[in-house]
Amino acid sequence: MRRNSFFIVVSALFIIGASFAAGAWFGNSSRPEMDRILGVIGQTSDLPLTNIDFSPFWKAWRLLEEKHIGDEKFDRQKLVWGAIQGMTASLGDPYTVFFPPQDNEDFKSEIKGEFSGIGAEIGMRKNILTVISPIKGSPAEKAGLKPGDKILKIDDTFTNDLSLDEAVHKIRGERGTKVLLTLLRNGEDKPRVVEVTRDAIRVPVIITEKRDNGIFIIRLSSFSENSSIEFANAVREFLNSGSKKLVLDLRGNPGGFFSSAVDIGSWFIPEGEVIAQEAYQKGEPDYYRSIGRKALENIPTAVLINQGSASASEILAGALQEHKKGVLIGERSFGKGSVQELEEVTSNTSLKITIAKWLTPNGKSISKEGLTPDIEVKIPDNLKEGEDPQMAKAIEYLKAH
């Protein structure tokens, strides 16, 4: 009888224990995935998110922690940075980028001008890393890089899976070091490998030249903080030269400060007229108008553009074209008409976000196709040294008008 009682008690305890374990297992397995990740702070958001199921994210996180084996130590913080980078990549916008700590430090150095590299502006065209323009006198130009060159590899790394900023980071480096670029040029079937030696990059903003027949040339290579002042000096030089016609050369100009483009446009476009529109996600666009500097309003002007003309240079060229203050000569421009804003995420990370698109005065989006020249002049592959058919066409046009 005692044995039976003992057996019953043990069995009951076993059943109770098993039930408790099963209940605990069931309760844990049915908990939200987010709650099953221990030691993670800031799991909830202040945003009123509805109809968004985050459980796949947290389940993937848990499975990685439980099962992944690799050469590197498991780093939860890197998972966070990687998740944010994946989130920005999903937008399909190469100019919206998250900078984890090291990339953030490099980017801040870049915008201060404290870097060395090959001296080429690059961008994304149809999801392919492409040379917008090599800077005049830079290692990239000396190595033979041309606007429109597609960069297939940087050293041994294929570029198809790199973001724009990752590619820029790989191309830049210490002065005197070398980088191998595998390029595919328009009209060629086989890639070519080009070795470029990195160097400190110095960009001449404006170069002026007086030609015969009353023609004056202003070459504007970028829109820097000082380009408005330097352009004013170039205008003064033009007026004092006795010249009556102007060539504004924006070829290979990758852009820069939007405000500089508006200020320079004000020399050509009457006061109060729209130079550009800035369209946001919501609401009406902002209109940027000429302050009416007037000196060049009635000057016959030819504007040179090519595949290396991008961003702020497209803003200026598009405004002159639509206001009929300049005829565009050359090749279709690059097509980069978006506005980025840098937001701090943590004290040592940041997010560069596309917040708006630039539109021409008539509301045309520059990002879609770029600008079409009024007179198309392509550069032949067999161009002889010293020849410039686009400049020649500009001068021919001004002589006839």
Residue numbers annotated as active site:
311, 322, 336
State the Cα–Cα distance between residues 136 and 206, nearest whole angstrom.
Answer: 11
State the Cα–Cα distance between residues 317 and 326, nearest whole angstrom.
Answer: 8
**C-alpha angle 109-114-117 in degrees, rounded to nearest 5:** 100
| Among candidate residues 283, 323, 320, 281, the one with its CA nearest the CA of residue 303 | 320
Structure tokens at 29: 């397995």
Structure tokens at 259: 């405000």
Instruction: Using the structure block, give the residue that is written with the tokens 């990687």.
Output: 82
Contact between 87 and 63 (Cβ < 8 Å):
no
Distances from the Cα of 130 to the Cαs of 198, 334, 369, in angstroms?
18, 10, 15
Outline where DSSP puts E strands in 319-377. Answer: 327-330, 338-346, 349-359, 375-376
| Among candidate residues 101, 105, 99, 89, the one with its CA nearest the CA of residue 351 | 99
Compute CA 397 distance to the chain's CA centroid, rounded to the nearest angstrom.
Answer: 34
